[in-house]
Chains A and B, each alone.
Chain A
Amino acid sequence: MKKDRNSFIFRFLLTLLVILAINFFLPRMMPGDPFSTTSADVAGDEIIVMTEEQREYYIGYYGMDKPQYEQFFIYLKNLAAGDLGKSISYKMPVWSVIKIHLPWTILIVLCATALSTFIGVIFGTISAKNRKKSSDRFMMAGMIAFAEIPSFLLGLILLLIFCVYLRMFPLAGAVTPFAVYGGVLDQAWDIMYHAFLPVVTLSFAQLTGVYLLTRNTLITVTSKDYIRTARGKGLGEKIVWNRHALRNALLPVVTRTGFMIGMMMGGAVLVESVFSYPGIGMTLRAAVVGRDYPLIQGILLVLAVSILVCNLTVDKVYQMLDPRVSV
């Protein structure tokens, strides 16, 4: 047990180191640097071209005149001390930038996961119960067709319909600017109002996967001997499905959901862009455009860690749900 734990920690650290190295070197392999921004992100922006002296001053200031491996070791050393560095474009510590934007992403990702899992499981169950009937075929065809729509396209369509034409939802942002709230409920309502469409868009991207997985595992599970045993005991279809079939069928769904949370954190970037939602994805996009190396590194690190944490949590949760996986 102790040996297992040691090897686990070792593997975890090794993974982390590889991730850190990639995070560090990959942005630097892109053409350009933070101080030679030659194209404007938004049309009409002023293009500022620095003089050679200014450039060199900044390069020296941020320590980029040293060889890259040395910069990497300095980065690791600072990281070990809990310092993610300073954002070049925001002119503030990277951690502070992340702290502002990360919660919004976590909010929409968790809501989207909850929503897609809930609806996916219900639809999957309905479909499995009516297997080979027309309702199942219809549902499955619809779901698969739906899955083929890219999430940013779906986001754009929703944005156009509900925000531009119907004006039911806001075009951008996570909260109403300069709003004064009457209470916590009022504030929560405002947040949900802004998050609604991004959440829906993200959910739809996940829905089909959950639906198909639930449907297929349920169909496999219901052909198992223990379902026949449960039926034989005369427990009634409701208990057979809910207690015996679903509990087993949901095991892979739990695994998938856990992994998806981590993946969606990074994947939210497109959806956040479409809805101009101030999440971590939007920030990452801005950082890449501005070649803000410290910020890119910081965000990628947070995403990587969150994926690792999700995987770890999934393992633990799975152990609690499935007694066959020994603790």
Chain B
Amino acid sequence: MTILSIEDLKCHYVTDGSVVKAVDGISFDIYEGEIFGIVGESGSGKTTIALEIMGLLPENVNIYGEVVYNGKTISNLSGEERDKFRWKDIAIVFQNGLEVLNPVINVGRQVTEPMIKHLGLSHEEAEKRCMELFEMTGLDSSWMSSYPHQLSGGMRQRALLAMALSCSPKLLILDEVTSALDAFSRKEIRDLLLNLQKECCYTMIVISHDITFVSSVASKIAVMYMGKIVETGPVRDVITSPRHPYSRGLIHSTPDIFIYKDMWGIPGDGFMGGEIPGCPFSPRCTQKTDACTKSAPLLCACGNNGRKIACHRGGIVSLLEAGDLKFCYQLPDKKSLQAVDGVSLDVKEGEVLAVVGQTGSGKSTLAHILAGVMKPQSGEVYFMGEPLCPEGYGSRFNGIQIVFQDPFSSTSSRFTVLDAIKEPLDINKIGTKDERLNMVKDVLGLVRLSSEESFLKKYCGELSGGQRQRVALARAMIMRPKLLIADEITSALDVSTSANVLRLLKGLQNRRGFAMIYISHDLTLTLKIADRIAVMNSGKVVETGNAHDVMLSPSDEYTQRLVGSRIGLCCHTHEAA
């Protein structure tokens, strides 16, 4: 049964003539006993929704749409009529702050206040109940006579919770309950909430930017961006396979989900003020089309398990799809070597797919086929929905580029830096001489190399390994690829240089938003940058999945051996021995 439904809610803050659309057309239903999570970056409008459900938005907010509680529209009631619902039916645990409780009234009094008002309890009864509540939330009842400033952040959070529970509300809203807490208190509060929910069957709305926390309590989740819901569905589904580029970015920025990976936020800032005619996420989106900048997408059902997504492109699109690729080398002794044996994989827009496997497992052959450098003997490769054409996609902008393992053979020592980098432009006859020079200077800046005249005139032979690999990278970047295939690009470099090149590459990928196939035999390195991993053995992909799932709990026997063969953590094993 629906306990709360929100119909096309819009909350527009009006200040000095400018309008900020904090909440811009949101609808959702919450069923009795459910825990509903709302996540999003700060300023996405999460708290505004909570305040509107409570009817606590200030006067300078224009509110459209409806909030229906138990079949009764409460959004158009007067403050006095709403008082009948407040706390008794719908209560909120406010975002913790120094001034969220009245500084001159003791905590006990503030907790008992609503009980006296709504439940008609006497002072003594209310105090007795307050003691129980304090104990329930893990707070000693002696704190009742203290003032808010005497409590620590965690204790204040418990007091706020006790206050919210005082009238046994049917719907409980929790606004950022854990963001100010340390790990211990956070876990305690979470366990407490789950226990209470089991005992008392509250319906809960959990609002937080802390995805880990929300996903650990909620059953359904909505991801908000700039006042709109961009994706919603069952928690597990959304977290493990986000469909909207924003949800994916948000999940990838969460350290608890990918523990070993370097963190990279979503590039760009949420738009402040003004009006975006199209999809609000389009300025930060890597897969936008013309339609995205013209009209805002609606939240539409996708799949049949209650998942909905607001994206003109139906969520994150597949950039490259390969089906049943085969390639066989003929060896001189008439034997044949099946290097690639029925490989199927897909690369999503903006993601980093790592292909790992031992030397000779067919990784590089696969890379060459995907880049269009080699033709598969059977099977098809589709790039952006079209079959890979004979001349490949390397000769145009927004295509596929590949960077090879060995910079010393992939860039000619007799070329100057300028010639090496602008070679693809020369071959494909793109731009005038000056335009080419400018483009070269731009990409040199991207890969953190000098764009001075003297450096441009240097011969590649004069450069160090790291510099030459960056020149190779610059040559790929000058064609602005949508997909970059990096084939063991760091294996010829020393640790420090390889770390620098890798961070540069990942940084570029994050900023530019291209997708990447990262081919490597180094598992630890892979964990740091990959979103998904495909494990190859003898020409076959034996396992694919979320990078951490694959590495931490490999299911295939070969993957297990590969993971187990790392020498890593060497100092610890020495101590053990």
Residue A229 interfacial (CB < 8 Å): yes
Contact B105 A243 (CB under 8 A): yes
Complex alpha-carbon distance, A185 and B546, angstroms: 91
Complex alpha-carbon distance, A324 and B106, angstroms: 11
Residues of chain B from 43 to 89 with CB closer than 8 A to chain A in the complex: 51, 54, 56, 79-80, 82-88
Residue B99 interfacial (CB < 8 Å): yes
Residue B465 interfacial (CB < 8 Å): no
Contact B113 A229 (CB under 8 A): no
Residue of B nearest to A244 (CB): B102
A137 CB contacts on chain B under 8 angstroms: none
Q: In the assembled complex, how far is the CB of residue B367 from the closest CB belonging to chain A, in whole angstroms?
A: 56
Q: In the assembled complex, how far is the CB of residue B496 from the closest CB belonging to chain A, in whole angstroms?
A: 50
Contact B117 A236 (CB under 8 A): yes
Interface of A is mostly: helix
Contact A224 B99 (CB under 8 A): yes
Contact A232 B94 (CB under 8 A): yes
Residue A235 interfacial (CB < 8 Å): yes
Chain B CB within 10 A, most for which of A230, A232, A321, A322: A232
B149 CB contacts on chain A under 8 angstroms: 323-324
A322 CB contacts on chain B under 8 angstroms: 103-104
Proximity bits, A226-242, B CB within 8 Å = 1, else 0? 10111111111101000
- Contact residue among A229, A239, A323 (Cβ-Cβ distance under 8 Å from B117): A239
Residues of chain A from 12 to 62 with CB closer than 8 A to chain B in the complex: none
Known contacts A226-B99, A323-B147; A248/B88 CB under 8 A = no
Complex alpha-carbon distance, A248 and B54, angstroms: 24
Residues of chain B from 101 to 115 with CB closer than 8 A to chain A in the complex: 101-106, 113-114
B503 CB contacts on chain A under 8 angstroms: none
- Contact residue among B85, B102, B104 (Cβ-Cβ distance under 8 Å from A321): B104
Q: How large is the interface on B (under 10, 10 to 19, 20 to 34, 35 or more residues)?
A: 20 to 34
Residue A186 interfacial (CB < 8 Å): no
Contact B105 A232 (CB under 8 A): no
Residue of B nearest to A224 (CB): B99
Complex alpha-carbon distance, A232 and B101, angstroms: 12
Proximity bits, B494-511, A CB within 8 Å = 1, else 0? 000000000000000000
Contact B94 A247 (CB under 8 A): no
Known contacts A234-B86, A239-B117; A323/B94 CB under 8 A = no
Q: How large is the interface on A (under 10, 10 to 19, 20 to 34, 35 or more residues)?
A: 20 to 34
Contact A237 B79 (CB under 8 A): yes
A4 CB contacts on chain B under 8 angstroms: none
Q: In the assembled complex, how far is the CB of residue B232 from the closest CB belonging to chain A, in whole angstroms?
A: 26
Residues of chain A from 311 to 327 with CB closer than 8 A to chain B in the complex: 321-324
Complex alpha-carbon distance, A98 and B83, angstroms: 58
Contact B87 A232 (CB under 8 A): yes
Residue of A nearest to B146 (CB): A323
Contact B86 A232 (CB under 8 A): yes
B88 CB contacts on chain A under 8 angstroms: 234
Residue of B nearest to A236 (CB): B83
Residue A225 interfacial (CB < 8 Å): yes
Known contacts A237-B79, A239-B117; A231/B103 CB under 8 A = no
A224 CB contacts on chain B under 8 angstroms: 99
Q: In the assembled complex, how far is the CB of residue B113 from the closest CB belonging to chain A, in whole angstroms?
A: 6
Known contacts A322-B104, A323-B104; A235/B56 CB under 8 A = no
> Chain B: residues with CB nearer than 8 A to chain A?
51, 54, 56, 79-80, 82-88, 91-92, 94, 97, 99-106, 113-114, 117-118, 147, 149-150, 163
- Listed from nearest, the 5 A-B pairs whose CB atoms lie closest are A234-B86, A234-B83, A323-B147, A226-B102, A233-B114
9 pairs across A/B with beta carbons < 8 Å? Answer: A226-B103, A228-B94, A229-B101, A230-B102, A232-B92, A233-B86, A234-B117, A244-B105, A323-B103
